Amino acid sequence: MTITEIPFWKQKTLTELTNDEWELLCDGCGKCCVLKLEDIETEAVYYTDVACKMLDCQTGRCRDYKRRKQHVPDCILLTPETIEQLAWMPKTCAYRLVYEGQNLPDWHPLISGSTDTVMKAGHSVAGQVFPEGSVEDEDMANHIKNWHDCIDH
């Protein structure tokens, strides 16, 4: 295998990726954009089926990705420097996988050549989440969802 046959995410560290390469790593699953609950005593993180107000619940994509931080000030911007601190990222998150030295799954668009494979493989939140604001705060615990590829508790 020549250097040009080796995928860019195996040739470079996360900090060496160009902005375009960084963005290509995202599979678009939307799991990082669902609201999460944290148990203060155990620090366990629980994913919900309630999406950030910026996430399009049907497509699983951010409505204004470039300006998301302006709309949601506490939105956590994933960077090569922050990935190590974000243990709550889904186990199949490409950023997490590359950081951990693992391979991307077969359904990842960079492997399959199609963005459709994320949904076909059952890894997208699209069509499976409620919009933020449609669920009362006191009901959030009833919306904990065991997405099959998120962190174990």
Provide the domain count of the chain. 1
Question: Is residue 150, in this structure, part of any structural domain at all?
Answer: no
| Cβ pair 15, 80 in contact under 8 A | yes
Q: Which domain holds residue 41?
A: 9-143
**Residue 87 confidence (pLDDT):** 83
Residues 142-150, mean pLDDT to the nearest whole number: 82
Q: What is the pLDDT of residues 40-75, one digit of tens each?
A: 999 888 999 999 999 999 999 999 999 999 999 999
Contacts of 31 (CB under 8 A, 6+ apart): 47, 90, 93, 123, 125, 147, 149, 150
Question: Is residue 149, in this structure, part of any structural domain at all?
Answer: no
Question: Is residue 78, in this structure, part of any structural domain at all?
Answer: yes
Question: Does residue 3 carry a pLDDT above 70?
Answer: no
Question: Is residue 4, in this structure, part of any structural domain at all?
Answer: no
Question: Is residue 148, in this structure, part of any structural domain at all?
Answer: no
Question: Is residue 153, in this structure, part of any structural domain at all?
Answer: no
Question: Is residue 29, in this structure, part of any structural domain at all?
Answer: yes
Q: What is the pLDDT of residues 6-49, one digit of tens each?
A: 999 999 999 999 999 999 999 999 999 999 999 999 988 899 99
**Residue 4 confidence (pLDDT):** 66
Split at pLDDT 50, 70, 90, the class of 1 is: low
Q: What is the pLDDT of residues 92-111, one digit of tens each?
A: 999 999 999 999 999 999 99
Question: Does residue 136 carry a pLDDT above 90?
Answer: yes
| Cβ pair 123, 110 in contact under 8 A | no
**Residue 85 confidence (pLDDT):** 86
Question: Is residue 20, in this structure, part of any structural domain at all?
Answer: yes
Split at pLDDT 50, 70, 90, the class of 153 is: very low
